[in-house]
Amino acid sequence: QVQVVESGGGLVQAGGSLRLSCTASGLTLANYPVAWFRQTPGKEREAVSCINRSGRSTYYSDAVKGRFTINRDNAKNTLYLQMNNLNSDDTAMYYCAIDFRRPNCSLGYKNFDYWGQGTQVTVSS
């Protein structure tokens, strides 16, 4: 049974940093594209970052490019999202999602098959 768990969210002041982690049981993250999405109430879930199966290609939304970094520790079967210079627009629930069907990132949220429960990030100004 596949289980995806995010951690690392919290309350941080504007300009601060957080590192989110995503762990999975029942599968090896390095075998799939894995993405971070975020969602605020009343809005559609949006892709923030993604790393493809090989790990050689990454994606960042324009909103986070230059501030967020996605990386994977294969030995720990863990995906990270390092978030720097946070601002109030980054406040959201953050989700880790796994695509079982494609080798590369395809960023519509309906393309992802397994999701964690999310971790809340709140940035105070």
> From first to last of its 125 residues, what are the pLDDT tens digits of the chain?
899 999 999 999 999 999 999 999 999 999 999 999 999 999 999 999 999 999 999 999 999 999 999 999 999 999 999 999 999 999 999 999 999 999 999 989 899 999 999 999 999 98
* Dihedral of the alpha carbons of 6, 63, 85, 65, in degrees to the nearest 10: 90
From the list 89, 93, 95, the residue with the least C-alpha distance to 112 is 95
